[in-house]
Amino acid sequence: MTAPGNARWSQETERVLRGAGWSPGRAVGVESYEELLSRSGGFAMHPAARDFLAEFGGLEVEARGPGISALKADFQIDPTLAEGEDEIFDVLSEEAGTNLYPLGMMGRRNLYIGMAADGRVFLGMDSVSEYAESGDRALEKLVEGIR
């Protein structure tokens, strides 16, 4: 369901994100993510991923059941879940045609969530597909169960 007026998200999405620990102005340090993934996988964090993770890093949403056009699935915003998975991300990035930085995982850790430097969000494991044009839209779709 689309956000009314100039709201960032639907009321449902905002309720779920707040329940997971998000609040307006939330800021978490991303240095540990950046250092670990740079050292262990050669990942280079771009500004779009840095901004997204600074606001949403560490959130876990447990959701199951019917959504708007897909089943709702659990997701975790934790890029360290991709530690040691640089080869997978190299393949996903090549298939996507853009460098993807890991944001976390969804669906009982069956799919990686990655972000391109322009803010687009992709989902993938064996193959990759563009999921949303922005991090905000990706969160809305994940929470609401929109494919």
pLDDT at 1: 52
**b/e for 16-31, b at 16 or more Cβ within 10 A?**
bbeebebeeeeebebe
Biggest alpha carbon–alpha carbon distance for the chain: 43
CATH architecture of the domain with range 11-144: 3-Layer(aba) Sandwich (3.40)
Segments of the chain scoring below 70 in pLDDT? 1-6
Tokens of 47: 């500004």
Q: What is the pTM of this model?
A: 0.92
Segment 5-47, tens digit of pLDDT: 568 899 999 999 999 999 999 999 999 999 999 998 889 999 9
Tokens representing 99 are 């460098």
Domain assignments of the chain as residue spans, ordered by start: 11-144
pLDDT score at 16: 95
